[in-house]
Amino acid sequence: MAEERIIGKKLLHYSSLPSTMEVAAGEARRGGEEGTVVWADEQLSGRGRKGRGWVSPRGGLFLSIVLRPTLPQLPSLLMLASVALVRVLGRLFGLTARLKWPNDVLIKGKKVSGVLVETSFRGEVLEYAIIGIGLNVNMDPERYPEISATATSLSRELGREVDLGQALEAFLEELDGLYGGLRLGRGVFEEWKGYLETLGQRVKVIGVGVEEEGVAQDVAPDGRLLLLRKDGQRVEVPAGEVSMFLWS
């Protein structure tokens, strides 16, 4: 028998918001149902990782999803969202997407989507997690100087506009299936790892109190990146608040 739907059972749709993250956090704090999706047509102060912004004009897909995972499930959330995106881009649009560790979805080396996971703890207890997903759908990244060199969109890749509602529904369904699997103990680590174009590359990773350079050798099941440094030492970098650059 099919599992009961969790993600997307409740969908809150807004024309415009500062950021879907705050509205989703408010829902979570008020005891909102697990799987509640906050969707905005545009964001006026969209948030990226590391305090950066997220360019969020109409035509893009901006979502935050309230989840109440267990602590051991937490590292898998980033993987589930990225894998769901890669699968849907392939199935619906025939686009081959790859991942740049830890959270960028790329098409031909340009970023089409980013995933953010924010959490709230009471002491050591995880209260909730919010997955934030931004997908460049029907937009021209060339119009935004801050992303024009590094980003792409579905309409740009396909040369036509796509049905945003269809993309939304397909993504939520895919993610719901994967989250149901996670609750039954089935993660997507191997699939996620298989999509990572980072492995084998020379990279520089910068995070809070971390700066490492080396060859990205492998990833651990909790998402940590295993780097081989020039001095021959192996170091592990958590997938938290880090930026990664190709190192030339």
Binding positions for ligand BTN, rule: CB under 6 A: 19-21, 43, 46-49, 52, 54, 62-64, 103-104, 114-116, 132-134
For residue 102, say if its preceding peptide bond is cis, omega within 30 degrees of 0. yes
Residue type present at position 135 = L
The two most distant CA atoms of the chain are separated, in Å, by 54
The minimum distance between CB 241 and ligand BTN, in angstroms, equals: 10
Q: Is 57 or 180 the residue whose CB approaches ligand BTN more closely?
A: 57
The minimum distance between CB 25 and ligand BTN, in angstroms, equals: 10
The minimum distance between CB 186 and ligand BTN, in angstroms, equals: 25
Q: Is 48 or 70 the residue whose CB approaches ligand BTN more closely?
A: 48
Structure-block tokens of residue 199: 């492995």
Place of tokens 């020039």: 230
Q: Is 10 or 183 the residue whose CB approaches ligand BTN more closely?
A: 10
The minimum distance between CB 184 and ligand BTN, in angstroms, equals: 27
CA distance linking residue 134 with residue 11, whole number of Å: 16
The minimum distance between CB 38 and ligand BTN, in angstroms, equals: 8
Q: Is 35 or 132 the residue whose CB approaches ligand BTN more closely?
A: 132
Structure-block tokens of residue 164: 């945003």
Q: Tell which residue, 117, 131, 115, has the closest CA to residue 36.
A: 131
Our CA dihedral for 55, 60, 66, 69, rounded to 10 degrees, sits at: -90
Our CA dihedral for 89, 190, 129, 118, rounded to 10 degrees, sits at: -80
Helix, coil or strand: residue 189 = helix
Q: Is 16 or 217 the residue whose CB approaches ligand BTN more closely?
A: 16
Q: Is 151 or 188 the residue whose CB approaches ligand BTN more closely?
A: 151
> DSSP state, 151?
B
The minimum distance between CB 98 and ligand BTN, in angstroms, equals: 15
Q: Is 73 or 103 the residue whose CB approaches ligand BTN more closely?
A: 103
- Report the residue number whose CB is nearest to ligand BTN: 114
Burial 18-29 (b: 16+ CB within 10 A, else e): ebbbebbbebbe
The minimum distance between CB 201 and ligand BTN, in angstroms, equals: 18
Q: Tell which residue, 73, 5, 9, 62, has the closest CA to residue 39.
A: 62
